[in-house]
Amino acid sequence: MGSIVLFGPPGAGKGTQAQRITEHTSLPQVSTGDMLRAAVKAGTAIGLEAKSYMDRGALVPDDVILGLIEERIAENDAKNGVMFDGFPRTIPQAEALSELTEITHVLAIDVPDERIVERICGRLTCGTCGTVYHDVFNPVPGDGCECGQYVEKRRADDTEATVLTRLGAYHEQTSPLASWYEERGLFHRVDGDRAIDDITTDLLYVLQ
Ligand code: AMP
């Protein structure tokens, strides 16, 4: 089995869907955003370099991202493929990736621009297990997160100020990848402006 790419604008629900799909496939989730946030938290050289880009909502340079990816997919759990979440985000990243692993499906979660700000600005993460919630669309259950140890976390870049820059980066640098993958017959579009369960059902159907 090869690898899967989850594609879409910031706030489309890629992380949420990735967590659900990993329960149905044996593919580990590889999120470059999560890896970069871990590097920033740990204060590594990569984290220090990436932070200035992330804080303003710009893409981190391709060589930094590709270094992280090469290291990650050399790990043992990645030998049968992985599910990429938030990667690739530029044509050079996709070209480099095609040399590293076979991509079997690119699953695009479509959400119109006007929905993105409200989705990103209400976003919450459980600091213990990483489950993603939303103040309005996916509230934390009354008795807390499923993991039993809910710790509320909001991403530093989930603000109205950065979301427009992130959306701009998506349209300029990332969305050209849609036709790049379409030409290769790998691209599948799913309406992401619906209930979370319905989106998961459609994504799993495409993967069958
Ligand atoms: P995400 O968690 O996917 O929304 O990513 C958060 C931030 O990390 C982005 O706004 C970028 O600054 C950076 N980032 C994550 N993945 C990539 C990537 N594949 N290429 C460039 N920058 C990335």
Q: What secondary structure does DSSP assign to 70-106, as a single string?
A: HHHHTSGGGTT--EEES---SHHHHHHHHHHS-EEEE
Average pLDDT of the residues in 107-133: 93
Active site residues: 14, 89, 123, 154, 166
Residue 54 Cβ inside 6 Å of ligand 1? The answer reads yes
Share of the chain above pLDDT 90, in %: 91
Cα–Cα dist 100/28, whole Å: 16
pLDDT at residue 106 in the model: 98
pLDDT grade for 34, boundaries at 50, 70 and 90: very high
pTM for the predicted model, two decimal places: 0.93
The Å distance, Cα 118 to ligand 1 centre, comes to 19
pLDDT at residue 88 in the model: 98
Higher pLDDT, 61 or 138: 61
Atom 5 (ligand 1): residue with closest C-alpha? 33
pLDDT grade for 1, boundaries at 50, 70 and 90: low
CATH label of the domain that carries residue 56: 3.40.50.300
pLDDT grade for 47, boundaries at 50, 70 and 90: very high
Average pLDDT of the residues in 8-18: 95
Phi, psi torsion values for 23, nearest 5 degrees: -70, -20
Is 178 inside any structural domain?
yes
The Å distance, Cα 164 to ligand 1 centre, comes to 14
Is 128 inside any structural domain?
no
- Amino acid at site 141: P
Count how many domains the chain has: 1
Token reading at 11: 């706030």
Query: Which range of residues forms the domain containing residue 32?
Result: 3-111+168-207
Share of the chain above pLDDT 70, in %: 100
Average pLDDT of the residues in 1-12: 94
Is 134 inside any structural domain?
no
pLDDT grade for 29, boundaries at 50, 70 and 90: very high
Cα–Cα dist 14/132, whole Å: 10
54-57, long-range: CB within 8 Å, 24+ apart, which pairs? 54/156, 54/157, 55/156, 55/157, 55/162, 56/162, 56/165, 57/157, 57/161, 57/162, 57/163, 57/164, 57/165, 57/166, 57/168, 57/169
Q: What is the mean pLDDT of the chain?
A: 95
| Mutation pick for ligand 1 pocket among 37, 60, 83, 175 (CB with most ligand atoms within 8 Å) | 60
Is 87 inside any structural domain?
yes
Do the Cβ atoms of 83 and 18 come closer than 8 Å? Answer: yes
Report pLDDT digits (tens) over 164-197: 999 999 999 999 999 999 999 999 999 999 999 9
Is 143 inside any structural domain?
no
Phi, psi torsion values for 78, nearest 5 degrees: -100, 5
| Residue 33: closest CA among 139, 123, 99 | 123
- For the CA of 10, the closest atom of ligand 1 is 4
Confidence check: pLDDT of 85 > 90: yes
Average pLDDT of the residues in 135-144: 92
The C-alpha R_g of the chain, in whole angstroms, comes to: 16
pLDDT at residue 26 in the model: 86
Residue whose structure tokens are 């690119």: 106
